[in-house]
Structures are given as structure tokens and as C-alpha cells.
Amino acid sequence: MHSRRALLYMPGDNWKMITKSVTLGVDTICMDMEDGTAINKKAEARVTIAKALRELDFGASEKLARINSVGSGWEKDDIEAILPYHLDGIVIPKVESFEQVEWAGRIIEAAELKNGWPINSIRILIGVETARGILNLKEIAVHPRLDAIICGGEDFAASIGATRTKSAIELLYARQAILVACAANDLQAIDIVTIDYKDQKALRIEAEFGAGLGFSGKQVVHPNQAPVVQTAFTPSDEAIAYAKRIISTFETSQKEGKGAYALDGKMIDMPLLKNAQKVLARAKAAGR
Ligand code: COA
Ligand code: MG
């Protein structure tokens, strides 16, 4: 699975931002046709994204596009405009049912067959960002073409009538519901946007908190947010060294017939081993 520590959006009709995005070394670029694009620019966004997919070299960055929600009336034109250019994946916002993912899955599979592309080479990421979506996560998250679930903080707050705060405490339940559904189905979980995009300190705190909760990445909306977020979602040298120590000492203690043992005054047993393995997997995915 592609590493998606930072997922950078830009309006799909904004050629300047799209061309800038490919120079940034960001893990994932997502050209948006949904709420980042004005209603009278939807058609222009489709044409501009298709042009970007044809003409630009995205380097190591993953290339995604976000379509409008299934049921908006725009989704079919959106997906048909971009699929011929074999992008890496589609983001579907405001998903509330398995059938909405299946709708896109069928269209994508038909395109893969028609063009002779490997089946499943185009992935689906979904935004779950409404009350109904959170309630239905259990059935949605099992879809076989899914790679990741994205937590839309602002949309979820609007959906339940919450007032957004800097601590984001009002979003904790939705964030953790998504994390649990992702962990149970081996999916990546991608955290909320810090919309106060000029506040680098708030961004770092929120990104580190999200990484600690278990998210694998975070959405960003401005180039300056990408490096902060990519660092926060990359295990530090200390974390990697400690994980390696747990793995090696765990093996020794097992051989000695001990399930639990002490390391630096802390109790270590199986769950800590599993967590250490996750840290190393994450470091590897981030190219460490
Ligand atoms: N992707 C790529 N480039 C971006 C960018 C983005 N998301 N946001 C800004 N830039 C570029 C600008 O074009 C500008 O480029 P330049 O230096 O070559 O002229 C540079 O980065 C600095 O931009 P800045 O002037 O600080 O930002 P702004 O005031 O023009 O725009 C926002 C601020 C928030 C409106 C803009 O960042 C944006 O539209 N973000 C994406 C919003 C979005 O897609 N939302 C939907 C998903 S949640
Ligand atoms: Mg949204």
C-alpha cells in the first residue's frame, strides 16, 4: 500500500496549484472535484484534472482525484472524465453505505478490464464524515477495493451539529470509530484537516496526537503543512531504536520461557511486541 502520511488537496480547476503540488515531494496528491471546487467550476475541474494526469510527472507522489459524493448527480461525469488516464485511486467523499463504494468499484473494474490494466490497480479511498456513515462503518469498511478511510472533521461536525474547537474533542468518537474500522480491516486511517493552515504549532500538535491515536496519515490543504505532517507520521529514530530493542529482548525472554519481562523498569509482553512491529512497519512504509 502506498505510504500516505500527508494527503494534499487542491481544487481540481486550479492548474497552478496542481503543477506546484508535483514539486513538493508529498506522499499523496488529491485533485478535488468536490467541495474544494465551486459549483460553476465542476466541468472545468474534470478537464483540468484529466490534463494533469496526461501531462504532468507526479514523480513518487501518488495521484488521486476526489469525485463528488455518490448521489450528488455529478459523480458519474467526474469518474468517467478521469478514469481513462489510469490514476492511482479515487477518493469518494461522504460515503454512507457499502453500495456507494460498490458503485465506484464496478465502474473501475470495467475500466480495468477494458484497458487491460491489472484488476484492483486503481484503489478506492473513502471519506466517512456523516453520522450515518459512522453508524454504517462496520459494513462499509469490508469492501475489498478499499485502501483507506479518511476522517472528514468539518463535515462530521456539521453533520452532528458540533461546534469545532481547537482540541477537536468533539471529533474524538468519529476519529476512533474510523480507527477501529480500519484496524479491523487492515486499512489506512487518514486524519482530519487542520484548517488553521498558518498555525504550524497547532498543526504539529494535532498531527502528533493523530499519529498517537493510530492514524497513518493526515489530510493537508497547503504546501507548508506537508513537511510537518510527514515528519509527525514518520517514527522517530528513538522510536525505531526502542522498537528494535523490544523485538530482540522479547525473543530472548521467550527462549528463557518468560512471556512477560522487564525492560528499563517497564513491563513488556505480547501487545508491546505487536506495537513495536507496527512501528517498524510504519518506518519501512515511510522509507526509513
Ligand atoms: N496545493 C498546491 N499548491 C498550493 C496549495 C495547495 N493546496 N495551496 C496553496 N498553494 C500554492 C499557491 O498557489 C502559492 O503558490 P506560488 O507561491 O507559486 O504562488 C503558494 O502555494 C502559497 O500559497 P498561499 O498564498 O499561502 O495560499 P493561498 O492564500 O493562495 O491559498 C488556501 C490558501 C487555503 C485557499 C489554499 O491553500 C487552498 O485552496 N487549499 C486547498 C483547499 C482544498 O482543496 N479544499 C478541499 C479539501 S479539504
Ligand atoms: Mg469535506
pLDDT digits (tens, 9 = 90+) for 91-101: 999 999 999 99
Q: What is the dihedral angle through the alpha carbons of 233, 49, 187, 107, rounded to the nearest 10 degrees? A: 180
Distance 205 CA to ligand 1 centre (A): 22
* 20 CB within 6 A, ligand 1: yes
Give the pLDDT score at 286: 87
Which pLDDT score, from 0 to 100, does residue 262 have? 96
Ligand number nearest CA of 10 is 1
Residues 146-170 pLDDT 10s: 999 999 999 999 999 999 999 999 9
Backbone torsions φ then ψ of 272, nearest 5 degrees = -70, -30
Residue closest via CA to ligand 1's atom 25 equals: 222
Side chain identity, residue 235: P
User: What is the reported pLDDT for 214?
Assistant: 95
Mutate to test the pocket of ligand 1, among 10, 34, 197, 225 (most ligand atoms within 8 A of CB): 10
For ligand 1, atom 24: residue with the closest CA:
222
Query: Is any atom of ligand 1 closer than 6 Å to the C-beta of 170?
Result: no
Closest listed residue to residue 101, CA positions, set 52, 51, 150, 63:
150
- Condensed to tens digits (0 to 9), the pLDDT of residues 102-142 reads 999 999 999 999 999 999 999 999 999 999 999 999 999 99
32 lines ligand 1 (CB under 6 A): yes
Q: What angle do CA 32, 78, 33 make, to 5 degrees?
A: 20
Residue 203's pLDDT is: 98
Sequence length of the chain is 288
149, 128 in Cβ contact below 8 A?
yes
Q: How far is the CA of 225 from the centre of ligand 1 (A)?
A: 10
Any ligand 1 atom below 6 A from CB of 22: no
**How far is ligand 2, taken at its centre, from the CA of residue 84, in Å?**
25
* CATH T-level assignment (fold) for domain 6-232: TIM Barrel (3.20.20)
> Where are the chain's structural domains?
6-232, 237-285
| Residue 288 in contact with ligand 1 by CB distance below 6 A | no
C-alpha 253/C-alpha 257 separation (Å) is 6
| Per-run averaged pLDDT (10 residues), the chain, 288 residues | 96 98 98 98 98 98 98 98 97 98 98 96 98 98 97 98 97 98 98 97 98 97 98 95 96 95 96 95 89
